[in-house]
Every structure is written in C-alpha cells, then in structure tokens.
Structure 1
Amino acid sequence: MTYLRHAEKSKGTVAGPTDLQIKVQADLPSEKRVLEILADLSDARRIQINRQGRGRSIVTFADRFDDSDEISARIQARNSASSPQKTAVCDTVARSKELGGITRAAQTAKANIKPQKSAASTRAVAALKKWPAATGNPPSVENRHPSELRLDDSYQRSTDNGASQALIRKIANGWDWRMCLPLVVSKRDDGSLWVIDGQHRLAAALLRGDIPFLPCVVGIYGSVADEAAMFVAMNRARKPMNRLDDFHAAIASGDSEAIEITRLITEAGFTVSRKTGSQSWVPGEVAFTSAIAKVLRKHGAKVCADALRTMQEAWPDEVLNAGASMFTALTKLAISPPDGFDPDRMFRALLRRNQREWASFLNETKSGGDERAAQLRQVLLMAYEEEPEVADAE
C-alpha cells in the first residue's frame, strides 16, 4: 500500500493518511515513533507500508517531481545515468528501511534522545585537572627540500653500517609518501635546519635525488645539548639504541661521565668508535665505553688511563679485537697485582702477540664480560711468567 506522506490539496481535497493511520498500518508502538522515523527524511513524500508475514516495514520514496533541492536532483540524474537499473530513489529506499529488524533510517529524530557528552564538555572537565605546564614552543609544519636539512654527527646514529645502508636503499627503492612521516627538525639561531629524527628518510631522499621536499616538524630547541636530549628521549621511547649511539648522544647532551670517558680515550691516543660491529672497527678506535664506565665508577680515572695508554702503546696500529676484555684484564692486574709485579715485564709480554692472537684465547669462552676478562687475566699472568726478567744495568 502506498500513501502520500504529507497532506496535499488536490481540487480542494486532502489526500494522505494521518500519523495515526500509519502507526496502525505499520504496527508501530506510537505516533511519536512515526515522527521519529520520518522526521529527518525531508525528501520523503511517499511511504509504502509492507506486510511480510507477521512483520511490518516502512520504506520511503523521494518525490520525483520535487526539484526544491537542486543538488539532490543533480545527484539523482547522475546516478540514473550511471546505473539505469538502480536509481537514487531505490538508494533512498535501501537507506531508510526500519521496523521488524530492518535497518533504521540513516538519520533519526533528535527528540527524546538523552544528551550525550560532547567533546567540548569533556575538554571542560579535563581542563579542571592540574596538569604540569607544557614545555617548549609549538613547532611549525613545513615542507623542506632535502638539501636544506643537515645532520649533527655528535649525537646522530652512524649510518655507515650494513643494516643502515640496507634500510636507506629499501626506503629509496620503495618510496611511498604514505610512509613518509614528518621529520623532527631543529631550527638553530642562524636559521639552519638540523634533523633530530628521520635521518634514514633524509638519506633515502638524497639518494634518489627526485624528492622535491620532505615534511618537517620544525621546532626551536635552544642548543645542541637540547637536541641531543630530545634525540635520546624519542629513540628510547620508540626502540632501543645501541650503546655507542647512546654514548655519543650523551656526550652531546653534556653528560659528565660520557665526557670524562671521552677525555680518557682521546688523551690515550684513541678515538671513540661509532660502530658496535667488530667487523667495522678500524685501528685507533675504542668501542668498549661500557667497560671503561664500569671501572671508572669503581676504581677511578687513573686506573682507566693507565690501561688505555698501555693498550695504545702496545697495539697502536691494530684493531682492538679483544679490547673490552684486555682493558678489564689490565685494570684487574693494576688493582690486585701479584707479589713483585713488574709493569715493564708485563708490557714486554703484551708485545709478544697481536690483538687477534690475544683474542684467540677467548674463542672457547661462552661466558660474559667479567669472566672473559678474568680468564684473559690468567693468560696474561702466564705470559708474564714466561717473559724473562731483565737484569738491572750496572
């Protein structure tokens, strides 16, 4: 049965059922429910009440001749042209079914609906809480050419390793703008831009050469130390940093222990490595900063300085393959030497073998750093005993 929804005068007569009649025909609980279902369907001029077994359903039809809504008319025409067998009228029917388990109309009346908490009211409640004051200044979001962006090696990770190079090539080869999250960038006093987070994306863009810009969140950090501290905070929150990345960032952020360790290393004639993989080490580099820190805290700077100087003098042009174990073994000897210990005799014993040969004594050792150092200490004492004493010159 199809009725005109709204009363329409035709030759002075009024056609169409009342809300009460629709309620009865569709077996609705109340006239108010009729209004609730149909109130927002402003296009609905015709209503069909279907009986399916014991169930009832209402479907509504837009008035084909109602051109009061020009936009709706254009949409109807476009849909009719693209899909002649499925018109906008049928689409309205599908969207507005309700009753007897059929989906409710797309928009329901606002009457009799309990007020819900709005975002504004939630914010008002949240504002009552005593939050700590926000730090820093709001950043700006900018698109910057890759050539404008710089990297500070004092705290940035080294990308001169196989894993980083593979990642850079992978990003470059499969560049996807949807994966290019904004880089975190510091703007310094001279206007230069320094990447805190996103160096692999920057390297990939530079490798390609055809990326016109990179999205950047540009902030003012005040100093290199502040940048380094932010770098550490961001990367520790996201994924673990290796110990040397952490160490170099600590230096840049002004960490006193890291600065002291760097001083001991450089005064001995070494430099601090940027790479944790032994295959990437080169002569003159120290990668065992954790071992130095441990001895420094417990026994002081002099013990560390003496051991580092001994190693530099014994193997100035060699990769320190057994660096951590050798350093700790030498400090153990200095802290608790055997009776009559002669440092010169020990030094001559060290010169008998290169770093690879000393490291070979640990090949079968599966235990941790302290036990490896203790074992190497025993080997050093055996070599010391085998080294002949030098008679004092008369």
Structure 2
Amino acid sequence: MSTLRRIKSVSLGDVVPGGADMAEPRFERADPKTLLVDSAYQRELSTRSIRLIHKVVANWDWRRFKPPVVVEIDGGFHVIDGQHTAIAAASHPAIDEIPIMVVEAAEQIDRARAFMGHNRDRVNITTTQLFHAAVAAQDPDAVTVAQICERAGARVLKNPPPNGTYEVGDTVAVKSLLTMANQLGAMKARQVLQALVEAKAAPISADLIKASALLVSAPEYAEDISLEQITNAVRSLGPRAETEARQLAAAKWMPLWRALAVVIFRSKGRGSRRAA
C-alpha cells in the first residue's frame, strides 16, 4: 500500500490570502564569503552559534541544505535568514559557492521585519535578539522601550556577556521592560529604570524591574517610597537584596520579585523624588 499522498489545499475559512502581488524569489549561486550581515537586526555570533557552525561543517549534507534568504542591495547580498548556514559554508574548505534565494526588500525596515518573520517562532533566537530586530523593524512597543532605555542610561544587550560580567545599566530583561512600559507608561518607566541605573545595578534583572514597578504603582507602597529611596536601597543592599529576597520568598511562599519589593521597601531611607 502506498504511503504517498498528494499536496492538497485546505479550507481557508475567513482567512484572507495576502502577498500574492509580491515579486517571487529567484535563485542564484554565490560565494558565501561575499554575503553580508546587517548587525542592526541580525544576531551576533555567540559561543552556541560557533558550536552550531562547527557541527554543520562536520556533518555537511546537501540533502539538509536550505539556501540562505538574501536581499540584493547595491550589488551585494544581505542575509535575512540563514546566517549560520552561510558561515558554515564559508568555513568549509570544499565549498566555494552555494545556492541562495534572493527576495525583494529594498528598505532596512522591510529586511528587519522579514528577519523577524523567519525567526519569531524559533527556539534558537533569544528574546533580546528578537527585540533588537523589532527595533530595527520599527515595532512601536520595541521602539518605545529602546527610547526608555536610552534616556535612562540603560542598555539592552543582544547576548549575555561571555564572561558573565555586566556593566552598570546592562539588562536582558526585555519582557519585563515591555510589561513595565505598558503598565506605567513611558515616562514613569523611564524614571524607574533611571533610578536602577543610578543605583549601579549590574545587571538590571527582570525581578528588580518588576519589584521596582510594583513599588511605584501599588497603593500599599507608592505613597511611602520615592524613586530616590529605591535608588538608595538598591545601591546599599547590593547583592544582599537578592539573598534576602530568596529567603523571604521561601518563607512566605511568594514570587521572588514580590519578595524583592518587600526587601527594598523595608530598606528605604529618606528621599523625596517620586515617579511622575
């Protein structure tokens, strides 16, 4: 009995088909070493990336090959998807050319959006990498958070530092930043983030962001603590803040970030600068 079946269309229901008026991709061959990567939205190579590239080179198999998706810009090919494949091919001593799929995306914003479309549902792209692509694609929420960080003196890293050493103001807590911006608004979120930068937090963790946002918004805290007090408490507590928060969280069966808010509140000193 045959196990083959034909490809058949499915019922679309209320789905409205789109994109049929776009130019179809074309296929060419290119030296992988001539391909370009735009770091405005593409990922930087991590240790994991290097391991993956080594694995691809060691187990090269044309039957598993997927042509990198590229855009032709000023005579050069910019990789939208397939950076690791292209680098593996460039590193393989027996490969001089590879097939590439050329699509149209004249503007950087279109290329960034295409990158997001290829990678949004993949497990091998981090939230921070996707965030930077979203900023390049001018996603409103991502742009707002990027502006908040810039004005507060914070920095969203694309990848955690290899040596684990963060600088003051560094963060990878994209989801917490997005949530805080939506809950508090851009101005208050910037003030909270700036308070944590002034507290010399390195990194600014997701728990610290959520705890601080709670302190300036929850009725049981907001009237009795200022931004300056949050700054002073976080700075004076240092690493002890997380230690005490973990102990409290375990004792009271509460989330770590909420316990951290309690620890900061209990350690507040004098200060009067409140969130707007």
What TM-score comes out, normalization by structure 2 length?
0.79
| Residue 230 of structure 2 is aligned to residue 341 of structure 1 | no
1:157 aligns to what? 43
Shift of 1:343: 4.1
1:57-72 superposed matches below 5 A: none
2:30 aligns to what? 144
**Cα distance in structure 2, aligned partners of 1:202 and 1:329:** 43
**Cα distance in structure 1, aligned partners of 2:72 and 2:45:** 22
Q: Specify the structure having the higher radius of gyration (Cα).
A: 1
**Cα distance in structure 1, aligned partners of 2:140 and 2:230:** 33
**Cα distance in structure 1, aligned partners of 2:53 and 2:124:** 19
**Cα distance in structure 2, aligned partners of 1:232 and 1:329:** 30
* Higher mean C-alpha deviation, range 281-290 or range 270-279: 270-279
| Residue 269 of structure 2 is aligned to residue 361 of structure 1 | no
Q: Tell whether the 8 Å contact from 1:187 to 1:218 is kept in structure 2 after alignment.
A: yes
Query: Cα–Cα, structure 1 residues 362 and 202, in superposed 2: closer, same or farther, change >3 Å?
Result: farther
Aligned partner of 2:48: which letter?
A
Aligned partner of 2:191: which letter?
D
Which runs of 5 or more structure 2 residues have no equivalent in the other structure?
A: 1-7, 9-15, 272-276
Number of residue pairs aligned between Structure 1 and Structure 2: 251
**Cα distance in structure 2, aligned partners of 1:286 and 1:131:** 40
Shift of 1:326: 1.2
SS at match of 2:236: coil
Aligned partner of 1:156: which letter?
Q
SS at match of 1:195: strand
2:58 aligns to what? 173
**Cα distance in structure 2, aligned partners of 1:377 and 1:363:** 12
1:73 aligns to what? none
* Higher mean C-alpha deviation, range 279-288 or range 199-208: 279-288
1:228-253 deviation line (CA, Å, top 9, x unaligned): 22222223466574322321221121
| Residue 129 of structure 2 is aligned to residue 245 of structure 1 | yes
Q: Tell whether the 8 Å contact from 2:154 to 2:170 is kept in structure 1 after alignment.
A: yes
| Residue 108 of structure 2 is aligned to residue 224 of structure 1 | yes
Q: Tell whether the 8 Å contact from 2:245 to 2:263 is kept in structure 1 after alignment.
A: no
2:212 aligns to what? 330
Query: Cα–Cα, structure 1 residues 257 and 340, in superposed 2: closer, same or farther, change >3 Å?
Result: closer
**Cα distance in structure 1, aligned partners of 2:50 and 2:245:** 31
Between structures 1 and 2, the one with greater strand share: 1
Q: Tell whether the 8 Å contact from 1:273 to 1:281 is kept in structure 2 after alignment.
A: no
Q: Tell whether the 8 Å contact from 2:198 to 2:231 is kept in structure 1 after alignment.
A: no
What TM-score comes out, normalization by structure 1 length?
0.57
Shift of 1:276: 5.9
SS at match of 2:79: strand
Whose RCO is larger (CA < 8 A, sep 6+)?
A: 2
Aligned partner of 1:187: which letter?
E
